[in-house]
């Protein structure tokens, strides 16, 4: 099916959802893991990403009535299973917010110390000011937040692509001569795959995408159109993300990347410390800030909506009709402030971001986007027509996404 203008707008929306902190930390794990694991995963990540995300949209787009992923599951399996899915959805994005809050603090802290020469700035105060400012944009209203995010996203994509091309003359191709050692490659595959799952993930927007199309089209046409959107998004992400990763890895060294992991900083902050051009030393941290801040907005709102949904469901569990009478504006405000304070505490603590991604975020994303759709298509009669021969492979890769970091860390 040929995509129209609206379809391509959704492709860009899905693409923008995926481009964030993941792409900034993926080169660090990839470069430390060696060239062979990067090449292997580059060869297989497109079908994995495509089929997994397509599964989510098909669950929603094929529903007899327009609804989101939770409503679609409730329609077939009941209220309790729907509530379990809402908790899973919430967990799949709340840990991402922790990584974003920590990452944006580290970017600005590094910039103040290394580019501006300001040392000793209180991390507690800096984190609060940053999170208060970002959360203030969200509290200003959805329209203002969307306008700010749109303003940030397109320049970000152009600058990341431009930086990838700019680094080509700095590539060191000697890594291609690295010997293939199966045990080491297996270990690096297990460690890298969860981070790649995170970097290629746009599952938070898939439910909204499918619900939007199901409201406008029949179930069959909604499925066909969303399939096309997911395919093109996955393909563009493959080219964009992996080109950026290879460019950054080939322009640095494993020693530099290991130091970045130890300092808990992203690849762009790392590049800003080693490039010689003064202009880039200031521009690159700005790109890193835009990348994480733009994704922070969407994931914070998604996390808040998930937590509000869980809260209201628990408050009205014995009387669902009472949910319509709740003061959602007040609940939203309280949840927003609680989330910001929680993120502030965790970001001040400065947890290792790659560990958050590999051991917490990626496993929950794998359960939600890889395992859940496969299981639903075996359980729900209306979805059985969408089962494919790749389902078993996707399920296995979901298990790798869940256990990869844990197993790889002990090999």
Q: What is the pLDDT of residue 20?
A: 73
At 140, is the pLDDT very low, low, confident or very high (cuts 50, 70, 90)?
A: confident
Q: What is the pLDDT of residue 146?
A: 65
Distances in Å between the alpha carbon of 298 and those of 1, 8, 231, 273, 295?
29, 19, 22, 29, 5
CA-CA-CA-CA torsion sign (157, 251, 199, 46): positive
User: What residue ranges define each of the domains in the chain, with the CATH number in brackets?
Assistant: 5-410 (1.20.1740.10)
Residue 223 near residue 62, CB atoms below 8 Å: yes
Distance CA 103, CA 270 (A): 13
Span 31-60, average pLDDT: 93
Provide the token pair at 93: 């994005």
Nearest to 167 by CA among 36, 284, 33, 23: 284
Q: What is the pLDDT of residue 144?
A: 75
Provide the token pair at 276: 């010689």
Number of H helices, E strands in the chain: 18, 0
Distance CA 186, CA 374 (A): 25
Provide the token pair at 220: 């069959």
Residue 188 near residue 254, CB atoms below 8 Å: no
Nearest to 98 by CA among 274, 363, 291, 349: 349
At 249, is the pLDDT very low, low, confident or very high (cuts 50, 70, 90)?
A: very high
At 154, is the pLDDT very low, low, confident or very high (cuts 50, 70, 90)?
A: confident
Residue 266 near residue 28, CB atoms below 8 Å: yes
pLDDT at 241 over 80: yes
pLDDT at 399 over 80: yes
Calculate the CA dihedral of residues 249, 253, 254, 255 and round it to 10 degrees: -150
Span 269-286, average pLDDT: 87
Q: Calculate what percentage of the chain has a pLDDT beyond 90.
A: 45
pLDDT at 396 over 90: yes
Q: What is the pLDDT of residue 221?
A: 93
pLDDT at 1 over 70: no
Question: Residues with Cβ < 8 Å from 40, sequence gap 6 or more?
Answer: 185, 189
Provide the token pair at 49: 């990403």
Distance CA 295, CA 145 (A): 11
Full-model pTM: 0.89
Span 287-304, average pLDDT: 82
Distance CA 295, CA 198 (A): 13
At 207, is the pLDDT very low, low, confident or very high (cuts 50, 70, 90)?
A: confident
- Segments in 350-390 forming alpha helices (H): 353-355, 362-366, 372-379
Distance CA 247, CA 262 (A): 21
Strand, coil or helix: 392: helix
Span 76-98, average pLDDT: 86
Residue 159 near residue 148, CB atoms below 8 Å: no
At 142, is the pLDDT very low, low, confident or very high (cuts 50, 70, 90)?
A: low
Residue 28 near residue 36, CB atoms below 8 Å: no
pLDDT at 27 over 90: yes
Angle at 385 between CA 379 and CA 390, to 5 degrees: 85
Distance CA 257, CA 265 (A): 10
């Amino acid at each position: 099916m040929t995509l129209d203008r609206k379809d391509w707008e959704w492709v860009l929306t899905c693409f923008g959802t995926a481009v964030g902190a993941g792409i900034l930390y993926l080169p660090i794990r990839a470069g430390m893991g060696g060239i062979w694991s990067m090449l292997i995963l580059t060869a297989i990540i497109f079908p994995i990403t495509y089929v997994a995300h397509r599964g989510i949209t098909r669950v929603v787009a094929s529903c007899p009535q327009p609804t989101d992923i939770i409503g679609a599951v409730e329609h077939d399996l009941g209220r309790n299973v729907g509530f379990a899915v809402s908790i899973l959805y919430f967990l799949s994005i709340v840990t991402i917010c922790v990584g974003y809050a920590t990452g944006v603090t580290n970017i600005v802290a590094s910039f103040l110390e290394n580019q501006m020469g300001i040392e000793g700035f209180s991390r507690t105060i800096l984190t609060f000011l940053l999170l208060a400012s970002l959360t203030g944009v969200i509290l200003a209203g959805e329209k203002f937040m969307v306008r700010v995010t749109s303003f940030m996203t397109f320049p970000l994509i152009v600058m990341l692509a431009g930086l990838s091309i700019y680094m080509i003359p700095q590539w060191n191709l000697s890594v291609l001569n690295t010997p293939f050692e199966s045990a080491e490659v297996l270990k690096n595959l297990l460690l890298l795959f969860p981070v790649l799952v995170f970097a290629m993930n746009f599952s938070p927007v898939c439910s909204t995408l499918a619900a939007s199309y199901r409201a406008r089209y029949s179930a069959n046409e909604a499925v066909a159109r969303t399939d096309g959107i997911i395919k093109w998004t996955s393909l563009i992400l493959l080219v964009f993300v992996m080109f950026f990763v290879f460019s950054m890895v080939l322009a640095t060294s494993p020693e530099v990347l290991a130091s970045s992991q130890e300092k808990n900083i992203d690849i762009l902050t790392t590049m800003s410390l080693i490039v010689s051009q003064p202009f880039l030393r200031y521009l690159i941290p700005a790109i890193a800030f835009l990348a994480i801040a733009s994704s922070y907005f969407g994931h914070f709102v998604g996390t808040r909506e998930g937590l509000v949904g869980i809260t209201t469901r628990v408050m009205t569990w014995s009387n669902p009709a009472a949910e319509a009478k709740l003061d959602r504006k007040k609940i939203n405000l309280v949840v927003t402030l609680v989330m910001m304070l929680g993120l502030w505490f965790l970001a001040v603590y400065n947890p290792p971001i790659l560990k958050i991604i590999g051991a917490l975020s990626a496993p929950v994303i794998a359960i939600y986007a890889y395992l859940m759709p496969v299981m639903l298509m075996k359980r729900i009669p209306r979805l059985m027509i969408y089962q494919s021969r790749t389902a078993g492979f996707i399920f296995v890769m979901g298990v790798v996404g869940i256990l990869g970091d844990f197993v790889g860390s002990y090999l």
